[in-house]
C-alpha cells in the first residue's frame, strides 16, 4: 500500500510538471504565431491581423498568470528538489519572457495603421528578414528549453548579434528616408519602434535559451553577451 501511495505521488508530480510544460508549449506556440502575424501585418498590410494579435496578447497574459499560480501551488504541495525545482523555477521565468513577447507584438500591431500612409513601403525585405530570424530563434530556444539541449541553446544566443545588426542597419536606413522626405517621418518612427520590438523579441529568445542552459546544467551560460541594441550607440556618429 505504501508503494502504491508513492507511485501515486510520483505520477502526480510528473503530471504536474507535464501540465506546466504543456502550458509553456502553448505560450511558445502563441508567441511564434504572434510574431509571424505581426510580420504579415507590417509587411503585407494585413490590418485584419491587428485585432487577432491584441486578442491573443490577452490570452498570453492570462496563461502567464496561470503558470504563476501553478508554480506556487506545485512548490507548496510537492516541494520539489534539485533538478525538478530548477525546472519549475525556470518555467516561471520563461512564462514571463513569453508574456513579454506578447507585449512586443501587441505594441508593434498597434502601430500598423500609421504604416499604411507609407507608399511605397521601402524596408519590406529587412523587416521580413528580422522576423524570420527571431521566429527561428524563438522556435529553437523553446525546443532547447523543452528537451533540454545546451548546444542548441548556445546557437540561439549567437544568432542574436545578427538581429541586433539588422536592427541597427534598418534604423540608419529609416533615418535616411526621413531626412530625404519629411512626409515619411511619422511612418518611419513607427517602423523604428516595430524594428525595436522585433529586436527585443530576439532578446527574449536569447533569455529563454539561457534559461534552457540553466535548467539543463544548473549553471549560467558564460561570457558576457552583447545585450540589446547597437542602434542606440552607433547611428549618431554615422548619421549626424
**Between 77 and 96, how does the x/- string for binding to a copy of itself read (CB under 8 A)?**
--x-xx--xx--x--xx--x
- Residue 68 within binding range of a copy of itself, rule CB under 8 A: yes
Residues 96-115 that bind a copy of itself (CB under 8 A): 96, 103, 106-107, 110-111, 113-114
Neighbours of 56 (CB within 10 A): 19
Smallest separation, CB 1 to a copy of itself (Å) = 26
- Residue 125 within binding range of a copy of itself, rule CB under 8 A: no
Question: Residue 227 to residues 10, 34, 100, 202: CA-CA distances in angstroms?
Answer: 41, 23, 16, 10
- Residue 215 within binding range of a copy of itself, rule CB under 8 A: no
Smallest separation, CB 232 to a copy of itself (Å) = 4
Q: By the criterion CB under 8 A, which residues form the site for a copy of itself?
A: 65, 68, 71-72, 75-76, 79, 81-82, 85-86, 89, 92-93, 96, 103, 106-107, 110-111, 113-114, 117, 175, 178-179, 182, 185-186, 189-190, 192-193, 196, 220, 227-229, 232-233, 235-237, 239-240
Amino acid at each position: 500500500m505504501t508503494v502504491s501511495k508513492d507511485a501515486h505521488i510520483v505520477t502526480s508530480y510528473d503530471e504536474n510538471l507535464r501540465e506546466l510544460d504543456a502550458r509553456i508549449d502553448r505560450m511558445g506556440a502563441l508567441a511564434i504565431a504572434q510574431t509571424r502575424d505581426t510580420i504579415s501585418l507590417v509587411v503585407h498590410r494585413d490590418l485584419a491581423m491587428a485585432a487577432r494579435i491584441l486578442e491573443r496578447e490577452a490570452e498570453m497574459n492570462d496563461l502567464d498568470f496561470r503558470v504563476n499560480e501553478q508554480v506556487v501551488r506545485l512548490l507548496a504541495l510537492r516541494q520539489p528538489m534539485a533538478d525538478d525545482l530548477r525546472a519549475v523555477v525556470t518555467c516561471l521565468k520563461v512564462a514571463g519572457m513569453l508574456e513579454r513577447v506578447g507585449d512586443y507584438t501587441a505594441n508593434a500591431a498597434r502601430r500598423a495603421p500609421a504604416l499604411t500612409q507609407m507608399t511605397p513601403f521601402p524596408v519590406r525585405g529587412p523587416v521580413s528578414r528580422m522576423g524570420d530570424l527571431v521566429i527561428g530563434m524563438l522556435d529553437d530556444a523553446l525546443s532547447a528549453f523543452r528537451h533540454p539541449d545546451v548546444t542548441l541553446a548556445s546557437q540561439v544566443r549567437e544568432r542574436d548579434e545578427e538581429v541586433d545588426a539588422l536592427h541597427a542597419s534598418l534604423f540608419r536606413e529609416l533615418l535616411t528616408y526621413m531626412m530625404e522626405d519629411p512626409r515619411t517621418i511619422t511612418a518611419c518612427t513607427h517602423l523604428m519602434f516595430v524594428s525595436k520590438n522585433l529586436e527585443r523579441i530576439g532578446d527574449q529568445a536569447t533569455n529563454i535559451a539561457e534559461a534552457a542552459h540553466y535548467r539543463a546544467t544548473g549553471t549560467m551560460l558564460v561570457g558576457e553577451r552583447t545585450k540589446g541594441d547597437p542602434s542606440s550607440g552607433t547611428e549618431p556618429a554615422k548619421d549626424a
